[in-house]
Amino acid sequence: MRLLILSLLFVSTFAWFYGRDEPDRWSVGGVWPLPQKIIYGSKNRTLTYDKIGIDLGDRKDCDVLLSMADNYMNKWLFPYPVEMKTGGTEDFIITVTVKEECPSGPPVHGASEEYLLRVSLSEAVINAQTVWGALRAMESLSHLVFYDQKSQEYKIRTVEIFDKPRFPVRGIMIDTSRHFLSLNVIKRQLEIMSMNKMNVLHWHLVDSESFPYTSEKFPELHGVGAYSPRHVYSREDIAEVIAFARLRGIRVIPEFDLPGHTSSWKGRKGFLTECFDEKGEETFLPNLVDPMNEANFDFISVSENVNRKTFNLLVQEFLEEVTETFPDQFLHLGGDEVNDFIVECWVRNKKIRKFMEEKGFGNDTILLENYFFEKLFAIVEKLKLKRKPIFWQEVFDNNIPDPNSIIHIWKGNTHEEIYEQVKNITSKNFPVIISACWYLNYIKYGADWRDEISGTAPSNSRYYYCDPTNFNGTDAQKNLVLGGIAAIWGELVDNTNIEARLWPRASAAAERLWSPAEKTQRAEDAWPRMHELRCRLVSRGYRIQPNNNPDFCPFEFDEPPATKSEL
Give the three-state DSSP class for 549. coil
What is the per-residue DSSP string for 466-510? --TT-SS--HHHHHTEEEEEEEE-STT--TTTHHHHHTTHHHHHH
* Span 37-163 CATH architecture: 2-Layer Sandwich (3.30)
Q: How far apart are CA 131 and CA 247, in angstroms?
A: 10
* Structure confidence at residue 507 (pLDDT): 98
Which amino acid is located at 52 in the chain? I
**Per-residue CA distances from 111 to 32, 66, 169 (Å):** 21, 20, 11
- Rounded distance, CA 340 to CA 190, Å? 33
Over 87-156, what HEC string results?
CCCCCEEEEEEECCCCCCCCCCCCCCCCEEEEECCCEEEEEECCHHHHHHHHHHHHHHEEEECCCCEEEE
- How far is the CA of 458 from the CAs of 359, 417, 452, 454, 494, in angstroms? 43, 10, 6, 7, 25
- Can you give the pLDDT at residue 249? 98
CA distance linking residue 543 with residue 118, whole number of Å:
31
Specify the pLDDT at position 233. Answer: 98
Q: In 3-state terms, what secondary structure has residue 425? A: helix
CATH 3.20.20.80 domain locations along the chain: 171-256+410-519
Using DSSP, state whether 75 is helix, strand or coil: helix
- For residue 261, give the amino acid letter: H
3-state secondary structure of 200: strand
Residue 403: asked if its preceding bond is cis (omega within 30°), the reply is: no
Residue 362's Cβ-count burial label (10 Å; 0-12, 13-18, 19+) is exposed
Cα–Cα nearest to 269, from 293, 302, 303, 292? 293
Q: Are 506 and 442 in contact, with CB atoms under 8 Å apart?
A: no
Q: Indicate which residues carry an active-site annotation.
A: 337
Cα(151)–Cα(546) distance, integer angstroms = 28
Q: Is 35 helix (H, G, I), strand (E, B) or coil?
A: coil
Q: Are 323 and 387 in contact (CB under 8 A)?
A: yes
CA gap 450, 508 in Å, rounded: 8
Question: Rounded to 5 degrees, what angle do the CA atoms 329, 333, 336 make?
Answer: 145
Task: Please tell me the distance from the alpha carbon of residue 342 to that of residue 511, in angstroms, as a whole number.
Answer: 39
Distance, in Å, from the CA atom of 496 to the CA atom of 181, rounded to the nearest integer, reads 9
Q: How far is CA 90 from the centre of its chain?
A: 41
How wide is the angle at C-alpha 214 spanned by C-alphas 208 and 217, nearest 5°? 110
What is the CB-side half-sphere exposure of residue 440 using CA atoms within 13 A? 32
Ranges of H-type helices in 197-292: 219-225, 235-246
**Helical axes 350-359 vs 365-382, angle rounded to 10°:** 80
Within the chain, all domains assigned CATH 3.30.379.10 are found at 37-163
Report d(CA 426, CA 413) in Å as an integer: 19
Gap between the Cα atoms of 555 and 537, Å rounded: 11
Among residues 98, 48, 43, the alpha carbon closest in space to that of 73 is found at: 48
Q: Which amino acid is at 88?
A: G
Judge whether 478 and 431 are in contact, CB under 8 Å.
no
Report whether 219 contacts 274 (CB < 8 A).
no
Could you list the mean pLDDT of each consecutive 10-residue stretch along the chain, which spans 567 residues? 36 54 89 98 95 97 98 95 86 98 98 98 98 98 96 96 98 98 98 98 98 96 97 98 98 97 92 94 92 47 41 82 97 96 96 95 96 92 96 96 97 96 98 98 92 88 97 97 98 98 98 98 96 97 94 91 69
Please give the C-alpha separations between residue 325 and each of 254, 451, 496, in angstroms, as whole numbers. Answer: 10, 41, 28
Q: Which pLDDT score is estimated for 309?
A: 55
Per-residue confidence (pLDDT) for residue 301, from 0 to 100: 26
Which amino acid belongs to residue 471? Answer: F
Question: How many residues can be counted in the chain?
Answer: 567
What are 388's strand-pairing partners?
A: 330
Query: Residue 213 in contact with residue 184, Cβ under 8 Å?
Result: no
Topology of 171-256+410-519 in CATH?
TIM Barrel (3.20.20)
- Phi–psi pair at 389, nearest 5 degrees: -80, 145
Nearest Cα to Cα of residue 209 among 292, 143, 279, 285: 285
Phi, psi for 16 (deg, rounded to 5): -125, -145
CB 144 within 8 A of CB 118: no
CA proximity to 114, closest of 129, 96, 98, 93? 129
